[in-house]
């Protein structure tokens, strides 16, 4: 039994296996209807619990469809329905769910909830997102980049905006996949020092550059995310916009990256805030390939967790 809790806690070798598996599974489905099953049905007879304390579109749909394509069944549960951590301890919930299901995916607020679930569950647990990290998204992003441009090792990735949970997982991935990362954003929203140090400890270059034009020079990939996350208070909205407006990814900024640079955004996006529609719908953008690949990457993660 192996849980997928973070990119930093998974070996580079296993991460590469998952990426390669995801690409092979995607290729094998070429031309099939979305609801058609995979040939090998690796999750046949299995039940997967999908727990959502946070709202979701891509995570919910991609995991649900992925389990069904692999022959399994899903049980979608909301934290409110379960009174997760309120009416019953997370540890007891984990023990009970383990009697009913073969795999648990949880999308939650506090990292402590994920870790307690994994500690007490006797089945694998997958991090579908916490306030601190979002590893499934970055697995899809790595897959997407390599589909379009080949190996990401040695490339320059630039994160523009808020050093949030998605940025944290990108820093972890920089260390594990061997690419350099430059963060450009206001100092009050820098990514966690732990993840900067983690990436640097693996021998890659991590830089902080306050001037976004300088940051994106020579970039192979430019990434951003919403300026206000779903766990941020409403009072933060105007302050965040004022801080982050200079870091908007627009056509002028993308023109300073390499001519063949890609643009990514994990979605949902606030168009013309963190990125303009001209960039999101433009020739550099692979945001919808990125969204699709959540399905294939997560199928590979589930297979890895279950030894399938």
Active-site position among 137, 172, 176, 243: 137
Active-site position among 136, 162, 176, 266: 266
Of 97, 94, 87, 84, nearest to 116 by C-alpha is 94
Residue 266 appears among annotated catalytic residues: yes
Token pair recorded at residue 185: 């954003």
Token pair recorded at residue 31: 């031309």
Of 250, 246, 244, 247, nearest to 263 by C-alpha is 250
H-assigned helices in the chain:
12-28, 58-69, 79-82, 90-100, 111-120, 135-149, 165-177, 193-201, 212-215, 236-244, 251-254, 277-280, 287-306
Residue 241 appears among annotated catalytic residues: no
Residue 180 appears among annotated catalytic residues: no
Token pair recorded at residue 256: 């300073």
| Nearest-angstrom CA–CA distance, 303 and 308 | 5
Of 244, 250, 257, nearest to 279 by C-alpha is 250
Q: How distant is the alpha carbon of residue 254 from its chain centre? A: 22
Token pair recorded at residue 94: 């984990």
Residue 225 appears among annotated catalytic residues: yes
Across the chain, which distance is largest between two alpha carbons, in Å? 55
Are 161 and 187 spatial neighbours (Cβ–Cβ below 8 Å)? no
DSSP 8-state code for residue 50: E
Tell me how far CA of residue 286 lies from CA of 114, 259, 266, in angstroms. 30, 15, 10
Active-site position among 58, 107, 155, 303: 107
Residue 137 appears among annotated catalytic residues: yes
Residue 167 appears among annotated catalytic residues: no
Active-site position among 29, 58, 240, 294: 294
Are 287 and 265 spatial neighbours (Cβ–Cβ below 8 Å)? yes
Active-site position among 225, 243, 303, 305: 225
Annotated catalytic residues are 107, 134, 137, 225, 266, 294
């Amino acid at each position: 039994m192996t849980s997928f809790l973070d990119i930093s806690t998974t070996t580079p070798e296993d991460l590469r296996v998952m990426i390669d598996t995801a690409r092979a599974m995607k290729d094998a489905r070429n031309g099939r209807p979305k609801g058609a099953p995979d040939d090998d049905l690796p999750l046949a007879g299995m039940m997967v619990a999908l727990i959502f304390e946070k709202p979701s579109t891509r995570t919910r749909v991609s995991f649900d469809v992925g389990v069904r394509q692999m022959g399994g069944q899903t049980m979608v549960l909301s934290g409110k329905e379960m009174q997760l951590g309120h009416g019953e301890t997370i540890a007891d919930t984990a023990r009970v769910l383990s009697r009913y299901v073969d795999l648990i995916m949880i999308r939650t607020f506090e990292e402590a909830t994920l870790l307690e679930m994994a500690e007490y569950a006797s089945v694998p647990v997958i991090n579908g997102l916490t306030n601190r990290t979002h590893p499934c998204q970055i697995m899809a992003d790595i897959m997407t980049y390599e589909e379009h441009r080949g190996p990401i090792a040695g490339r320059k990735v630039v994160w523009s905006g808020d050093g949030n949970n998605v940025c944290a997982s990108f820093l972890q991935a920089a260390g594990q996949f061997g690419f350099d990362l430059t963060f450009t954003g206001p100092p009050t929203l820098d990514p966690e020092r732990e993840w900067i140090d983690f990436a640097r400890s693996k021998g890659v270059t991590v830089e902080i550059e306050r001037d976004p034009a300088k940051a994106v020079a020579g970039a192979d990939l430019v990434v951003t995310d919403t300026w206000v996350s779903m766990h941020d208070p409403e009072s933060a909205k105007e302050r965040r916009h004022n801080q982050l407006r200079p870091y908007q990814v627009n056509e002028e900024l993308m023109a300073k990256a390499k001519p063949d640079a890609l643009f990514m955004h994990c979605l949902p996006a606030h168009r013309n805030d963190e990125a303009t529609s001209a960039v999101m719908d433009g020739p550099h953008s692979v945001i919808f390939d990125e969204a699709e690949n959540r399905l294939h990457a997560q199928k590979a993660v589930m297979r890895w967790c279950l030894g399938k």
